[in-house]
């Protein structure tokens, strides 16, 4: 009883014993050695076999068991045990049916003896021959106890008691009915509008499936009735924390367009971005786009990928600085190049400020995004015959863009920068040259420019008008709690542990600490969050209700999106400055060009868990002692 039954392995040096039995619905048997089971056998009787005599069923069980274990029994002497006494004389009895004759033929060739075993002792074989007969052991009737609080409320509420008295006295008219201690209205359980049971009932109806307002109302109406059902159910669903986290908003995105301040001079305030993913052309795969925010004058510079902050800075100085000097401000997205320490420190020393787009909201630099689409449209027109020649057409794209009238300024960028209309290209008259190569080149240019200007008329956008038409104005107050929407595909820790399709739509709630501008807010994120804390209003949803759940920890992002706290990877150098020991730190995830000089003591305090001694690269024994 204390050990699980385990089938024994056969020992062909010992005697095999077959125990078999039959019942009204089946036959069964067990193969054993030394009282340990080796194999079991069970077979249900069907059709004519159900109407065989007891003797024939017992004989059938013997034959089937011997045949099933033929590999074990043939050629060896074995014993068959049955609770049918008459089978002991099997070979001496008279054959009465054709079936018995066939069974005896099948048993010929086996060497066995038949022994009688009482039925009450032949338990295993008997159990295998029977089908479990289902029977009712006990009848239970569920008694709903959730009705008891409703009955108690009927007895304790004076208004409901008055209605009950009218029902019992026959004075109640219409749909009222009192039955089994419960008051019904139109065959539905009636509750007072201020009943303490309503929140419990609504929670039960809604939280099981978290359906919307209409389905929850329909579910509740099928059983209950109280005045103000609509408002109480709607308010409960609005405050449901699970629904607020996981359901999207069926409204227009929040945040009307807030144009950036208009610059006072040309090329003092610029915006920049990259167009990547282009086919390789002359070793270039990316376009570095720089746009003057006042004149809309743009430069398109092909670059190779991969590129670093150092190479992009050199390109900027070679093409922009030499023409216009250093800008006062730069608007850009959070590309790893622009957020690198090298890039920010370089421009900070030149007095240039950076205006980064808020987290997950590239529309902040909408002007450059529009220019990017326009350039891509130019290149599609120019290179429809051969896309790998797009580098050749970049100067033409820049000329066409800068000499076309801009929708917002009503002038060409060229005219605003240089104070005069752009020089016109003389239209080519076919046949005016005798050089065939020149004729083909100018014909191709004229056709491309014609197609391009037709596309440009269609591509002009009225950003403010069309942007606001699809947006709503939304604002929050400092101290409000809001949910934050993040893109799951950017969350490394989340994607490792959850299916992105089933990831929560919103995180939080988090408290608003500060309003930044007109459409951005600074949130109080959990400690250790590696996400920039300022977000556009379109990514926020106000927390409804007073209960504030425990705040989630935000997932970590890969460096280059919004990482604020990179870890030290290596120590590249050492110096003394104002009697302070400083080390040159190579930060994890950044290039060596972004290495910074840090105070050694402060670095050890900021990263107590990092063994800086292991980070030294060829610094010698003195550096090892300094870091110990």
Q: Which domains does the chain have, with CATH numbers?
A: 16-128 (3.30.420.10), 147-246 (1.10.340.70), 269-459 (3.30.420.10), 472-565 (no CATH), 568-627 (2.40.50.40)
Q: How far apart are CA 503 and CA 320, in angstroms?
A: 44
- List pLDDT tens digits, range 530-551: 666 777 777 888 887 777 665 5
Q: What is the mean pLDDT of residues 117-125?
A: 78
- List pLDDT tens digits, range 150-194: 888 888 888 888 888 888 777 766 788 888 888 888 888 888 888
Q: How far apart are CA 380 and CA 605, in angstroms?
A: 55
Q: How far apart are CA 445 and CA 428, in angstroms?
A: 9
**Helix (H) or strand (E) segment spanning residue 298:** strand 298-303
Q: How far apart are CA 567 and CA 587, in angstroms?
A: 6
Sign of CA dihedral 107, 112, 114, 118: negative
The residues near 152 (Cβ < 8 Å, ≥ 6 apart) are none
Q: Which residues pair with 541 in a beta bridge?
A: 483
Q: What is the mean pLDDT of residues 84-113?
A: 83
**Distances in whole angstroms, Cα of residue 106 to Cα of each of 63, 64, 75:** 7, 10, 14
The residues near 384 (Cβ < 8 Å, ≥ 6 apart) are none
> 397, 377 in Cβ contact below 8 A?
no
> 24, 46 in Cβ contact below 8 A?
no
Local structure of 553: helix, strand or coil:
coil
List the single range of 64-68, 287-291, 441-445, 584-588 with lowest mean pLDDT.
441-445
Residue 298 has pLDDT above 70, yes or no: yes
Of the candidates 523, 438, 442, the residue with the CA atom closest to the CA atom of residue 476: 523
Q: How far apart are CA 596 and CA 618, in angstroms?
A: 18
More confident residue, 387 or 495: 387
Q: How far apart are CA 29 and CA 488, in angstroms?
A: 61
Selection from 284-293, 385-394, 450-459, 589-598 with the highest mean pLDDT: 284-293
Q: What is the mean pLDDT of residues 250-269?
A: 67
Q: How far apart are CA 235 and CA 317, in angstroms?
A: 59
Q: How far apart are CA 296 and CA 401, in angstroms?
A: 9
Selection from 65-69, 173-177, 269-273 with the highest mean pLDDT: 65-69
Residue 450 CB neighbour total at 10 angstroms: 11
Q: What is the mean pLDDT of residues 254-259?
A: 54
Can you point out the beta strands (E) in 321-390? 329-332, 353-356
Residue 429 has pLDDT above 70, yes or no: no
Residue 120 has pLDDT above 70, yes or no: yes
- List pLDDT tens digits, range 122-145: 777 677 767 665 666 666 666 667
Local structure of 223: helix, strand or coil:
coil
Q: How far apart are CA 620 and CA 573, in angstroms?
A: 11
* Burial grade of 358 (CB within 10 A; 0-12, 13-18, 19 or more): buried
Q: In this structure, what are the phi and psi dihedrals at residue 544, rounded to the nearest 5 degrees? A: -100, 135
Give the global pTM: 0.40
Q: How far apart are CA 607 and CA 203, in angstroms?
A: 47
Residue 429, CA atoms < 13 Å, CB-side half-sphere = 1
pLDDT of residue 77: 92
> 15, 33 in Cβ contact below 8 A?
yes
């Amino acid at each position: 009883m204390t050990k699980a039954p385990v089938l024994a392995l056969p020992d062909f040096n010992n005697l095999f014993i077959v125990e078999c039995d039959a019942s009204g619905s089946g036959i069964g048997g067990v193969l054993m050695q030394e009282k340990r089971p080796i194999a079991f056998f069970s077979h249900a009787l069907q059709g004519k076999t159900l109407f065989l005599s007891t003797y024939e069923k017992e004989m059938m069980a013997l034959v089937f068991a011997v045949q099933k274990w033929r590999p074990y029994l043939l050629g060896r002497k074995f014993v068959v045990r049955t609770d049918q006494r008459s089978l002991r004389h099997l070979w001496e009895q008279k054959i009465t049916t054709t079936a018995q004759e066939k069974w005896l033929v099948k048993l010929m060739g086996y060497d066995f003896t038949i022994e009688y075993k009482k039925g009450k002792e032949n338990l295993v074989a008997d159990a295998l021959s029977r089908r479990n007969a289902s029977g009712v052991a006990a009848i239970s009737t569920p008694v709903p106890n959730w009705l008891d609080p409703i009955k108690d409320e009927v007895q304790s509420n004076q208004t409901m008691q008055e209605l009950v008295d009218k029902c019992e006295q026959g004075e109640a008219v219409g749909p009222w009915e009192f039955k089994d201690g419960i008051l019904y209205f139109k065959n539905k359980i009636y509750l007072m509008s201020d009943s303490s049971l309503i929140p419990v009932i609504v929670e039960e109806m809604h939280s099981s499936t978290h359906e919307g307002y209409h389905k929850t109302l329909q579910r509740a109406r099928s059983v209950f009735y109280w005045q103000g059902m609509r408002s109480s159910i709607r308010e409960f669903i609005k405050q449901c924390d699970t629904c607020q986290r996981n359901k999207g908003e069926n409204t227009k995105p929040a945040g009307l367009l807030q144009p950036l301040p208009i610059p006072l001079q040309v090329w003092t305030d610029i915006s920049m971005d990259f167009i990547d993913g282009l086919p390789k052309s002359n070793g270039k795969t990316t376009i570095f786009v720089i746009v003057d925010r006042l004149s809309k004058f743009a430069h398109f510079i092909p670059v190779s990928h991969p590129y670093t902050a150092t190479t992009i800075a050199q390109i900027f100085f070679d093409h922009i600085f030499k023409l216009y000097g250093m800008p006062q401000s730069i608007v850009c997205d959070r590309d790893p190049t622009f957020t690198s320490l090298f890039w920010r420190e370089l421009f900070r020393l030149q007095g240039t400020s950076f205006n980064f787009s808020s987290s997950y909201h590239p529309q902040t630099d909408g002007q450059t995004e529009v220019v990017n689409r326009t350039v891509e449209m130019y290149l599609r027109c120019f290179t429809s015959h051969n896309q790998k020649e797009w580098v050749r057409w970049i100067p033409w794209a820049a000329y066409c863009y800068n000499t076309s009238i801009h929708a917002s300024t009503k002038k060409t960028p060229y005219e605003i920068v240089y104070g005069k209309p752009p020089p016109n290209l003389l239209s080519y008259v076919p046949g005016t040259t005798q050089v065939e190569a020149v004729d083909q080149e100018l014909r191709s240019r004229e056709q491309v420019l014609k197609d391009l200007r037709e596309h440009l008329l269609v591509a002009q956008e009225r950003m403010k008008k069309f942007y606001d038409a699809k947006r709503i104005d939304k604002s929050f107050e400092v101290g409000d709690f809001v949910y934050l929407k993040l893109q799951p595909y950017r969350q490394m820790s989340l994607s490792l542990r959850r299916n992105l399709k089933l990831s929560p739509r919103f995180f939080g709630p988090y408290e608003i600490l500060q309003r930044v501008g007109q459409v951005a807010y600074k949130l109080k994120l959990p400690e250790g969050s590696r996400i920039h804390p300022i977000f556009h209003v379109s990514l926020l949803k106000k927390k409804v209700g007073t209960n504030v759940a425990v705040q989630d920890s935000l997932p970590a992002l890969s460096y280059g999106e919004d990482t604020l706290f990179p870890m030290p990877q290596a120590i590249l150098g050492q110096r003394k400055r104002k009697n302070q020991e400083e080390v040159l730190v190579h930060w994890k995830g950044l290039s060596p060009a972004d290495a910074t000089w840090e105070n050694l003591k402060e670095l050890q305090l900021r990263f107590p868990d990092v063994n800086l001694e292991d980070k030294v690269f060829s610094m010698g024994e003195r550096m090892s002692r300094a870091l110990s």
